[in-house]
Amino acid sequence: MGKCTEFLYLNEEDMIKAGVLDTAHCIDVEEEIFKLLSKGDYVMGGDGHNSHGIALTFPKESEFPNMPLDGPDRRFLAMPAYLGGRFNVCGVKWYGSNIANHSKGLPRSVLVEVLNDADTGEPLAFMSANLLSSVRTGCVPGVGTRHLARKGAEVCTCIAAGPVGKACFDAIVREASALKEVVIYDIKKEAAEAFAKEAAAKYGIKARAADSMEEAVRAGDIVSVAASAVAKVQLDGEWLKPGSLIIFTGRCWIDEPYFLSAKTIWDNAKMHEEYYSHHLALPEEERFLNGIGVQTYRMIYEKKLPPLSEAVSLGDVITGTGEGRTSDEERICFITSGMPVWDVGWGFEVYQKAKEMGIGQTLKLWDSPYWS
């Protein structure tokens, strides 16, 4: 007789009951994960153990009538990871994305996560992951704000007013205790105005929509960029205040003089080394065109910036092995590209809470495996 294997199914309502939206707790968990990244107690995909994931993209045209065709944000992506420490769990976030989903009453991306026993490979949980992914994405800027923002920062600028931008601000406002105002810019001003109205009511601070990106950026002590992959955010480095912190959660381009004078902190420099090597494998005309932080990759390639092997990650700042902010005048850029370790860690935390609360549905894989 083999071993009975069961796993917990958690739908979106279950995830909410189990605390997936608890931003304050998620920030603490993500900080814990950053420490594990600094120590190296994790594994992601690829031979170098630092791949963000593997994407399934589609051709622009096809002879097959049922083949999906390329479009904005249209892809499938599998993001596997092992996370050590007290987590000691494997998992994968899996999602399909299509910007046309909005016309069908769906979010742009539809996500699920599977957690597995790191020893046996048995599934532990299958969970709805849209909220999980959004919250953990927002909480990474929260950790960055905790360790990199100037104390006394009073104004936060948000570039983009979508769900991820709101999640980022929800974490930032919790960590920037002196914050008095949020200034929002979005290409759709009505979206920025709606975000401002919501933020003023929720957080009790001043909130307004800016007429231009320059106006918004010049105002910010903390600047959060969370625009979608199809929107190009182009900033002038002179717009950024002395002592400012800019957080790249979405793609952003700033002129070279900014990066030559500012300090860059990475979410995980080893993962960006992997990205960098992928760019080098492309034809020269295709390198450093897409992705978060690619402008700095080009500057590294041109030897205008030190190599990524010498870069400082946020986990190093947290553990004291790398230098963070050294003055109130220093300008810092925090580049974060998303890693499955965050999804796995926060998913595991919510799964544990769901078990404690008796939330979710237990499903059986088998009573005894047919091949045992």
Crossing angle (nearest 10°) for helices 163-175 and 189-203: 30
φ and ψ of 129, to 5 deg: -130, 5
Residue 250: the pLDDT is: 84
Average pLDDT for residues 350-356, to the nearest whole number?
A: 98
Reduced DSSP (H G I as helix, E B as strand, rest coil) percent helix, strand, coil of the chain, to 5: 40, 25, 40
Domain 5-133+341-366 has CATH 3.30.70.600: no
Residue 285: the pLDDT is: 84
User: What band does 334 get if pLDDT is binned at 50, 70 and 90?
Assistant: very high
φ and ψ of 344, to 5 deg: -65, -45
Return the DSSP state at 237: G
pLDDT at residue 149 above 90?
yes
Under 8 Å between Cβ of 136 and 168: no
Q: Encoding tokens for residue 275?
A: 């990205």
Cβ neighbours of residue 67 closer than 8 Å, sequence gap 6 or more: 58, 59
Candidates 147, 177, 152; CA nearest to 326 is: 147
Cβ neighbours of residue 363 closer than 8 Å, sequence gap 6 or more: 6, 7, 8, 9, 126
Q: Residue 341 CA to chain centroid, in angstroms?
A: 11
Q: Encoding tokens for residue 12?
A: 């979106």
Residue 229: the pLDDT is: 63
User: What band does 319 get if pLDDT is binned at 50, 70 and 90?
Assistant: very high
Residue 1: the pLDDT is: 72
Cβ neighbours of residue 110 closer than 8 Å, sequence gap 6 or more: 95, 96, 97, 101, 130
Residue 286: the pLDDT is: 86
Report the run of H or E that residue 111 belongs to, with start and end.
Answer: strand 109-117
Number of H helices, E strands in the chain: 11, 18
Least confident of 116-120, 216-220, 228-232, 323-327: 228-232
116-147 residue pLDDT tens: 999 999 999 999 999 999 999 999 999 999 99
Residue 145: the pLDDT is: 98
165-175 residue pLDDT tens: 999 999 999 99
Average pLDDT for residues 1-8, to the nearest whole number?
A: 92
pLDDT at residue 265 above 90?
yes
Q: Where are the domains of the chain?
A: 5-133+341-366, 140-339
* CATH class of this structure's domain 140-339: alpha beta
**Between β-strands 332-335 and 263-266, what pairing exists: parallel, antiparallel or unpaired?**
parallel
Q: Which percentage of the chain shows pLDDT scores above 90? A: 84
278-292 residue pLDDT tens: 888 888 888 888 778
Residue 78: the pLDDT is: 97
Residue 343: the pLDDT is: 97
177-211 residue pLDDT tens: 999 999 999 999 999 999 999 999 999 999 999 99
| 272 vs 310: CA distance, rounded Å | 12
The CA-atom distances, in angstroms, between 208 and each of 163, 190, 216, 230, 277 are 17, 11, 9, 25, 42
